[in-house]
Structure 1
Amino acid sequence: METMRAQNKGYNAEVLVVTYNRARKYVNDSSKFRILLSFGQHGRELITSELALRLLSSLSEEKSIPNVDLKSLNNILEKIVLKVVPMENLNGRKRVEDGDLCERRNGRGVDLNRNWSVDWGKKEKDYDPHEENPGTAPFSEPETQIMRKLSKSFDPHIWITVHSGMEALFMPYDHKNTTPDGLATHVMKSMLNDVNRLHCKDRCLVGSGGGSVGYLAHGTATDYMYDVMKVPMAFTFEIYGDKEASMKDCFRMFNPVDRTTFNRVINDWSAAFFTIFKMGPHWMDLVHFNSSKLESIDEYLEGYLIERSSRYGKRMEVLDLGMQEIRTYFRLFLLSSVLLMFMFCSRISKSKYATIRPIVSAVSL
């Protein structure tokens, strides 16, 4: 466990980071499957930090989770390392505990989930500075500086930021109504569908944040993790929301107010995370995961051609040469196919002739 600190123009912030790694003395973090989880990014979403604490207590075997046998997961847990941020926005949480129950921003009024650099600062028509103030610049806030530093040093394979306000499982992108291209998208969608079926009883919205939530969000952590940090699987989980609550009753909108609902939310989502711990490496294998990062076929081919630039000249010349090589191979393939077909037809013709000739010669004149 460590406390990371940063400051900007007299504003100070600290973030507690808990690391879970069995046999840490003997295995380097980089050799394991790495998962980074962040809770409490918005002060009013208290239930998210409660989930973080329950998850950590379960991992330490202090508390059990219904229908989850930790002993059966020992082999899985040996192969992963987790970093958990139970409360990313400590200063904002203090403002909520002081009575401002609708506050989602940090200690100086900046929305930490609008302070990242991907599409930063863009404002929609319904922009509300009391909800979505992006700050004076990308990473102007010490909290986002800390999280960026943590993600760079840890280099996770899976990133999940946990929120409340609705029940949803989001993948990139938040700032546009699309999802990324490629096989990784299908794997992420499959993963979210599995979690939705197993732990959300198919209640959760599944898809891109920008395409599912009803508005676009610019400068979010998940888009940064996916686009800039190249985290192969980056998600935003929304674990609870009360649609019947008054807009003035922020506590009830974002947090369960009765013990039964509280326990259901905590238990269901704790179990969901253990499913992710168990299935994460398998999901990554589906997109040809290697020890570092994913690489698409296009990236591989481009890298191959550029690598040969010293032999053939400038990049565009290399790409042109690559296309010429592909055309040449295609022509050779067609020529080989024609020759093989000709040989095959010739053999059939000879075979027929050899079979028919004795029959004809046996006929009397």
Structure 2
Amino acid sequence: MGGHRRRQKRFLDRSSCSSSLNFVTMMLVLCFLLFFWTGICLADGKQPNATHHHSSFTPINHDLYHTSGALLEEIEGLVDRHPDKLSIETISSKNKGYQAKMNVVTYCREKKECDGKSKLRILLSFGQHGRELITSELALRILSILSEEEFLPNTDRRSLNNTLDKLVIKVVPMENINGRRLVESGEFCERRNGRGVDLNRNWSVDWGKKEKDYDPYEENPGTAPFSEPETQVMRKLSMSFEPHIWVNVHSGMEALFMPYDHKNTTPEGAPSQRMRSILEKLNHLHLGDRCLIGSGGGSVGYLAHGTATDYMYDVVRVPMAFTFEIYGDTAASSKDCFKMFNPMDITTFNKVLNDWSAAFFAMFRLGALQVEDGLLHPGGVAAGSSMNKWISIDDYLNGYLMERRNRYGKKMEVLDLGMQEIRTYFRLFMLSSVLLMFMFCSRISKKNTRPIVTAISL
């Protein structure tokens, strides 16, 4: 009887253990499935806590906005109809399997006189962030006015042409074509390029620094400065063109920014005062005094590191480097990205394009006056100085060495070594060369001085 009870107890113990094991096994299976599903989401870039980045309430209004392909076709049509004023080139760059193409339109009213350095040189970039469609529409409007197919209201064309005779403009109407295509496919909140890098965090000035509110989705700076083909193209373009004025055009608010973005101060001295003076005139004359003016870092409420404008001012030495924010709907939900960054109705759409076109052409006029007065010199030194051509070792390796052409014209990529290693080896080489030169010179010096010492001893 007692044995039966013990056997029964053992059976119950085994049953309870078996039930416990089954429960544990079931929980482990559920955990594994949950982990597996999460891993798939992360691999696809669809993070459970980041869905707000991909949702949008308002689709693209195609009655107002061109597709990327249609907009570029419109621009190519302008160039074909006005070859006396406009030319276009497509620049392609590739890095580690990722390729980007960029169209650059050059305007010069009298092409015969465009090769000299006497004219005001202006470099404009639009569409650096894919979701900011209105910026590329502004590029199209400015090019249409330059080609005289559209006209600024209340503007004397003869006076305008007198200004345009004095300048050369390069326009990048859509810097981030791959990111723009993602937006057009439904990713309405996407600001990054085709492989998830924010192009306005990929430049070398203060690159990679992260603030407390850093958002890895929004502000991914890439693996290194100039890791992205788009920034490589823009950097080479700025170095070769040597602009007097640079403007990086964005949307999200209404503002006229000057350096710096990575700190909440503006540069000191007369150049900074001239920049602020021009921005204040544009704001008052054409923008209803509604725009913020000052440094990007001091006005927006957060610091941005590795931006194009800070690089243009600090490294390329562009005398006037600006970031223009041309539109923002502060009442829109942060999830409703198209509405937040782009006008929704035809009235607002046209007002933005008209006001900002007028502001840009006023900037052209004010810049031309600065050149006539001898106040603008690219490179921060007198025009024609060889110092304009000097660049740092890091900039050389990041930009000039990133892509070269071999004798057959095929593009070559740098060996798959980290840029940090390349810089380190180059510096060690330079240091060792200097030391060897020093040792060599010291030895020669000793040989030359020995006879003199001997003569004195005698």
Give the TM-score range, shorter chain.
0.7 to 0.9
Query: Secondary structure at 1:277's aligned position in 2?
Result: helix
> What secondary structure, in the 3-state scheme, does the structure 2 residue paired with 1:257 have?
coil
Which residue number corresponds to residue 241 of structure 2? Answer: 154
Going from structure 1 to structure 2, the CA distance change for 1:21 and 1:117 (only over 3 Å counts) comes to same
User: Residue 233 of structure 1 is aligned with which of 320, 323, 326?
Assistant: 320
Question: Corresponding residue for 2:123?
Answer: 36
Q: Is the Cα–Cα contact under 8 Å of residues 244 and 376 in structure 2 kept in the other structure?
A: no
Counterpart residue number, 2:218: 131
C-alpha distance in structure 1 between counterparts of 2:155 and 2:305, whole Å: 37
Q: Any residues of structure 2 matched to 1:332-343 within 5 Å, and which?
A: none
Paired with 2:131 and 2:116, the residues of 1 have a C-alpha distance of 33
Structure 1 letter corresponding to 2:215:
D
Q: Name the larger-Rg structure.
A: 2
Matched position secondary structure for 2:111: coil
RMSD, aligned CA: 1.4
Letter in 2 for 1:133: N
Distance 1:65 1:155, change over 3 A: same
Q: Deviations over 1:25-61 (max 9, x none)?
A: 2441422110000000000000000000000011101
Deviations 1:281-310 (A, max 9, x none): 2235667335x54349xxxxxxxxxxxxxx
Shift of 1:65: 2.2
Determine helix, strand or coil for the equivalent of 1:236: strand
Structure 2 alignment gaps of length 5 or more: 1-87, 383-458
Per the alignment, residue 99 of structure 1 pairs with 186
Aligned to 1:12: 99
Within the candidate set 191, 194, 197, 2:278 is matched to 191
Matching of residues 35-114 of structure 1 within 5 Å: 35-114=122-201
Could you tell me which amino acid in structure 1 is paired with residue 319 of structure 2?
Answer: P
Q: Which residue of structure 2 lines up, in the alignment, with residue 308 of structure 1?
A: none
Runs of 4+ that moved beyond 4 A: 284-287
Residue 221 in structure 1 maps to residue 308 in structure 2? yes
CA deviation map 1:163-185 (0-9, x unaligned): 00000000000000111111101
**Aligned equivalents of 2:226, 2:173: Cα separation in 1:** 20
- Which residue of structure 2 aligns with residue 21 of structure 1? 108
Q: What amino acid maps onto 2:380 in structure 1?
A: L
Task: Name the SS for the 1:87 alignment partner.
Answer: coil
Residue 63 of structure 1 and its aligned partner are, at CA, apart by: 1.2
Give, in whole Å, the separation in 1 of the partners of 2:371 and 2:260.
19
* Distance in 2, Cα, partners of 1:5 & 1:70: 36
Normalising by structure 1, report the TM-score: 0.79
Task: Indicate yes or no: 2:380 matched with 1:294.
Answer: yes
Alpha-carbon distance between aligned partners in 2 of 1:2 and 1:274, rounded to the nearest angstrom:
23
8 Å contact from structure 1 (residues 187, 286) kept in 2: no
Structure 1 residue runs of 5 or longer lacking an equivalent are 297-365
Say if 2:268 is the partner of 1:181: yes
Shift of 1:5: 0.7
Q: 3-state SS of the aligned residue for 1:25?
A: helix
Matched residues, number? 295
Report the AA paired with residue 303 of structure 2: L
Q: Is the 8 A contact 1:116 1:139 kept in 2?
A: yes
Distance in 1, matches of 2:292 and 2:374, equals 24
Matches within 5 A, 1:180-329: 180-284=267-371, 288-290=375-377, 292-295=378-381
